[in-house]
Amino acid sequence: MAGSVPVAGSLADIYPTAALATEAPRWNDLLSSFEKAYGHKPSFVARSPGRVNILGEHIDYSLYSVLPMAITADAIMAVSSAPLAEGASSLKVRIGNVENSKFAASEFDVPVDADVDIDASKFEWTNYFKSGLRGAMKLLREKRGQDFKGVNMEIMVDGTVPVGGGLSSSAAIVTTSALAVMKANGVDAVDKTELTELAIVSERAVGVNSGGMDQAASVFSEPGSALFVSFSPRLEARPVKIPPTRPELCFLIAQSFVTSNKHVTGPIHYNLRVVEVSFAAAYLNAVLNPSGTRLPVDAGPLGISLQGFHDTYFYHANASDYSAAKSLTKEEELEKLIAVTKETLTQEEGYTREEIAKVLSVTVQELENRFTAKIPIRAERFMLRQRALHVFTEALRVLKFLTLLERPVHTGASDTTRFNKELGSIMNETQDSCRILYENSCPENDKICQIALEAGSYGSRQTGAGWGGCSVHLISVDKVEQVKEALEREYYSKMKLTEDQKAQAMVVIHEKAYQALYFGS
Ligand code: NG1
Ligand code: MG
């Protein structure tokens, strides 16, 4: 089937040559850990990569397009399955992790006629598997009928995506789990769109109101390409060549070793931002559109989003000048939205619940019921102006970056430098916007970006959710060592790092990273 998850013939299909020396023993470990735990060999291994986000930060949950790229670090799961006993009322899952001391093995039963139960209030690593299982079972029931019961499964997991590092360890586990469950239930060609959509929905069951960038990047990425992902009007992903068509450029990922756990800090960080942009959309809608105009309910994690505002603005508020509005390019639309936001959301100091409720003509209680009942957040003031401006300018930067990549003016050496600088400066603008408007950076990542830029990086920015984690740097290949040395000297040498951490601190993105199934032994 077109658009289905490929089967890899060998590890060399999955990993860059340079990684094989460490990946081959790692896979052997996975297989032997499996055998040791369950007493037989697995029947297949499912694999999904982590991702680095090149551009488009914190805009996926507002349904604006993003540009991530898969990385070599991944989640792998060795799996075997067995049919349920006649009349069994539940299926049994046994799951272990190669790093048993950090991620303890567990066993659980799932009733064959109910959704997998996930307790989002407890932070357990197996929740990510459960969320993939839950989504996959739901899809299988839709496809095969409500009396579909599933199979017993034994699973061994290993992950190399650092947890809380902004490289999407969670989505790598969720998409691998969903893929594993589909395959264990006999689906030979797992459809990428279906898999991504189910992974997006099921990851929210773990308690983070994320967008769909990570799952799309993990599932749709193709070797040697970044991925342009759109969410509206439907999920679409297409590869965009960066290296190797521009062999002079590469991306370096640098860890700050500041970890940020969304499950702990969500109420003041990630989930709060989701609520702030939803408030912003509702506020702009209430002020600018004819009264009674409702934002689309199916858009965004809260059933409401800035994209919803965007559409509403152009289809309702501009009704008098509809044809003019319709003929605007996406870039021109965003420019307009930026101007409108500046005029409408004027309070630099933020907005209280009372102020927002008043504009929406609801009580504070109604506001909370609608926006924050399911998402715990802690804040007194909501920075609607800053957050909305970040979202619209970031959405615009993604489009500009994409245009540059796909239609580069590239005729000579001086042009190449200019082109690289233009790409880099867009990434730098994103970092400024994250630091100043979205306030999701951290001093360590700001410092790392500054060191890298001074050492010759064209563009440096924190990547992923933020408040710690990784940064990504656009560097010409001949400057990589120089940038690494500067970061080592001015940042890493001042920290106490383990040998493992030292090895992971700085990594150049390799060209092979995509989701796959593997049957070799
Ligand atoms: P990371 O950095 O992997 O935690 C999160 C969200 C994305 C996106 C980015 C910010 C999850 C699973 N993913 O990614 O959807 O919103 O932050 O751009 O929470
Ligand atoms: Mg994550």
CA of 334 to the centre of ligand 2 (A): 28
| The pLDDT of residue 244 is above 60 | no
pLDDT band at 1 (very low <50, low <70, confident <90, very high): very low
**Best residue for ligand 1 mutational test, from 52, 60, 69 (most atoms within 8 Å of Cβ):** 60
**Best residue for ligand 1 mutational test, from 55, 60, 63, 210 (most atoms within 8 Å of Cβ):** 210
Higher-scoring residue by pLDDT: 3, 396: 396
**Which protein residues have their CB within 5 A of the ion that is ligand 2?**
168, 170
- Side chain identity at 224, as an amino acid letter? G
CA of 251 to the centre of ligand 1 (A): 19
CA of 72 to the centre of ligand 1 (A): 18
CA of 453 to the centre of ligand 2 (A): 27
Alpha carbon separation from 5 to 58, 217, 229 (Å, rounded): 27, 13, 17
Burial group, residue 361, by CB count within 10 angstroms (0-12, 13-18, 19+): exposed
| The pLDDT of residue 461 is above 60 | yes
In the 8-state DSSP scheme, what is residue 164? T
298 labelled catalytic? no
> Which residue, by CA, sits nearest to atom 3 of ligand 1?
168
CA 253/CA 87 separation, integer angstroms? 51
**Best residue for ligand 1 mutational test, from 168, 262, 277 (most atoms within 8 Å of Cβ):** 168
CA of 485 to the centre of ligand 2 (A): 29
Of the given ranges (73-82, 94-103, 120-129), which has the lowest mean pLDDT?
A: 120-129
**Atom of ligand 1 at shortest distance to CA of 170?**
12
Q: What is the pLDDT of residue 289?
A: 75
Q: Where are the alpha helices (H) located in 327-412, listed in sequence order? A: 330-344, 353-359, 364-371, 384-406
**Atom of ligand 1 at shortest distance to CA of 213?**
15
Ligand 1: lining residues by beta carbon, under 6 Å: 53, 57-58, 60-61, 166, 168, 170-171, 203, 208, 210-211, 213-214, 464-465
CA 421/CA 459 separation, integer angstroms? 8
Ligand number nearest CA of 165 is 1
| The pLDDT of residue 163 is above 60 | yes
pLDDT > 70 fraction of the chain, expressed in percent and rounded: 89
Comparing CA positions, the residue from 147, 153, 151, 203 lying closest to residue 173 is: 203
pTM of the model: 0.91
Q: Where are the alpha helices (H) located in 78-191, listed in sequence order? A: 126-144, 169-184
Q: What is the pLDDT of residue 299?
A: 44
> Which residue, by CA, sits nearest to atom 17 of ligand 1?
465
Q: What is the pLDDT of residue 321?
A: 56
CA of 170 to the centre of ligand 2 (A): 4
pLDDT band at 115 (very low <50, low <70, confident <90, very high): confident
CA 52/CA 214 separation, integer angstroms? 9
Catalytic residue among 158, 191, 214, 446: 214
Q: Using an 8 Å Cβ cutoff, are 281 and 360 in contact? A: no
CA 37/CA 94 separation, integer angstroms? 9
Q: What is the pLDDT of residue 444?
A: 97
> Which residue, by CA, sits nearest to atom 19 of ligand 1?
210
| The pLDDT of residue 492 is above 90 | yes
**Atom of ligand 1 at shortest distance to CA of 58?**
18
| The pLDDT of residue 109 is above 90 | yes
How large is the ipTM?
A: 0.95
Which residues touch 84 (CB under 8 Å, ≥6 apart)?
91, 112, 149, 150, 151, 152
Highest mean pLDDT: which of 19-33, 282-296, 332-346? 19-33
Alpha carbon separation from 508 to 74, 220, 241, 481 (Å, rounded): 15, 21, 16, 11
Ligand number nearest CA of 213 is 1
CA 46/CA 43 separation, integer angstroms? 10
Average pLDDT score over the chain: 87
| The pLDDT of residue 86 is above 50 | yes
Alpha carbon separation from 398 to 9, 167, 235, 331, 395 (Å, rounded): 35, 19, 17, 10, 5
CA 217/CA 390 separation, integer angstroms? 22
**Atom of ligand 1 at shortest distance to CA of 171?**
12
Q: What is the pLDDT of residue 301?
A: 44
